[in-house]
Chains A and B, each alone.
Chain A
C-alpha cells in the first residue's frame, strides 16, 4: 500500500488523531503558561497604601501601641527605640521595622505623607505582661467584629482575624485559647479595603492539613 492509499484508507482515524493531539498540546501549553497577575499595574496597586482620610486622632488599639494613627509623624517614628529597618516604598510611603518577641516577624510601622497610617503590635505571651489581651477584652467593649477571616500565613490555619475595620484595628487571635497574638492598627476603612491594603497575612489555607 502506498502513502496515498494509506492516507485515504485511514483519513478519519488520522483526522481525529490530529484533533486529539492538538487538544493535548493545548492543555499542556495552557498548564505550562506562567501566571502574571500584576501586569502593567500602577505603582499604587503594586505597593498599596491608602491615603489618610481624616486628621482625627484615633484611640490606641492597645496600651503597648507605639504610635497614634494619623498623628505620629515620620520624625517621631525615626526616634522610636529598637528600630531594625527602614524601607522607602515606590509610592512614597516608608516601612519601618522594630524588634519583636518573634525574630521572624518584626513589628511594622508605615508612614505616608509624614504621618503614621499603620502599625502592627505584637502582643506578649506572658499573661502578666502589659498589653496581654484576649478576644473577649475587645468583644466586650466593641461588640462583634465586622468580619472574621480564617487562616494566617504566619501563625497557621487555625488562627482568625477579627476585623474591626470601621474602628481602625484588626486582631489576629487563636479562637481556641482566645489569646490575641497581634493587632493591626490603621485608619478606619471598610473590610475590603483592609484586606486589600493590609491583608497580606490572610490565607486561603485555612483548613487543617492531612498528614
Chain B
C-alpha cells in the first residue's frame, strides 16, 4: 500500500469518527443574555447611589458586609451600585458575611455555601445590567439556603410556586436549562425581580423570549400575588 493510500484512509477514518465528538464539544457555549423589562412601578425605591470610595472592595465590605475577591474595579463598581440600589430592604440582614469569589471567564455563577465561607462563585459577565442582576440572584440563593425557614418563608414560597408556577421561564424549566431545580431558581429570581423592579433580565440563556417584563411590577395586578407577598414579607423593612 502506498503512503498516499494510507494517508487517505487515515483522513477518511478521522473524519468519520471525529464528527460526533466534534459535535459534542460544541454543545456548551455562552448562555446568558441581557434583557430589559418595562416596569410601570418602582418598589422598593432604589434611591440615590452615593459615589464609590477609592477602595471599592473595602467599601463594599464596610457598607454591606459582602467580601468580593478577585474582581476588577469595573465589576466592583457595578456591585457597589447594585447593592445600593437594593439596600432599602432587609436583604443585607440575610446575606451579610457572604464571600463572593471571581470565576475565570465571562460566564458562570453558582451559590456554593453560606456567609462565613465561600458563598458564591461569579464570573465577570459581559453586560453591566446582567451582572448587577445575577449577583442579586445568587445572593437570593443565600437567602433561601442559609437562613431559617420562618425567616425566608421557605414553605410559603414552595406553596406559592405550586399555585402560581415560577416567576420566570428559567424557574419553570430549571432542570432542562441548567440541571438546577425549579423551587430554588424561582426563589432566587423572586428575590432579584422584587429588589430590581426595573429589570426583566433572564437569569439563564435558555429562555426563548428575550423581551420579558418584570413579573411583579410590569402590570397591575401582578400574575404572581403570592410570590409578591412572600418577597415583601422577607425583604420589606
Contacts and interface: CB of A to CB of B under 8 A. Distances in A.
A20 B150 contact: no
B148 A16 contact: no
Q: Is the interface of B mostly helix, strand, loop or mixed?
A: helix
B117 to A, nearest CB: 10
A205 B184 CA distance: 14
Contacts of A125: 148-150, 154-155
B17 A20 contact: yes
B204 A211 contact: yes
A176 interface: yes
A211 B203 contact: yes
Given A16-B13, A20-B17, A101-B155, A208 B183 contact: no
Nearest to A128: B150
Interface in A6-28: 12-13, 16-17, 20-21, 23-24, 27
A176 B150 contact: no
A210 B110 contact: yes
Contact of B110 (A13, A176, A205, A211): A211
Given A13-B5, A13-B8, A125-B155, A209 B149 contact: no
Contacts of B203: 211
A156 B183 contact: yes
A85 interface: no
B178 interface: yes
Contacts of B110: 208-211
A103 B162 contact: yes
A104 B158 contact: yes
A126 B110 CA distance: 29
A179 interface: yes
A195 to B, nearest CB: 21
A158 interface: yes
A103 B180 CA distance: 21
A147 B193 CA distance: 39
The contact size tier of chain B is 35 or more
A102 interface: yes
B223 to A, nearest CB: 19
Given A21-B16, A158-B145, A209-B178, A13 B111 contact: no
A79 interface: no
A59 interface: no
A177 B3 CA distance: 68
The contact size tier of chain A is 20 to 34
Nearest to A176: B114
A210 B16 contact: no
A174 B145 contact: yes
Contacts of B145: 156, 158, 174, 176
B164 to A, nearest CB: 12
B12 A16 contact: yes
B133 to A, nearest CB: 12
A24 B150 contact: no
B167 interface: no
Contacts of B158: 102-104
Interface in B128-183: 134, 137-138, 145-150, 154-155, 158-159, 162-163, 174, 178-181, 183
Contacts of A211: 108-110, 134, 137-138, 178, 180, 203-204
Given A27-B20, A127-B148, A16 B9 contact: yes
Interface of B: 1, 5, 8-9, 12-13, 16-17, 19-20, 108-114, 121, 134, 137-138, 145-150, 154-155, 158-159, 162-163, 174, 178-181, 183-184, 203-204
The 8 closest A-B pairs by CB, nearest first: A125-B149, A209-B180, A20-B16, A176-B114, A208-B110, A16-B9, A210-B110, A125-B150
Given A23-B17, A211-B134, 18 more contacts: A13-B5, A13-B12, A17-B12, A17-B13, A21-B16, A24-B16, A24-B20, A27-B20, A101-B155, A103-B162, A126-B150, A177-B147, A177-B148, A179-B149, A209-B181, A210-B121, A211-B108, A211-B138
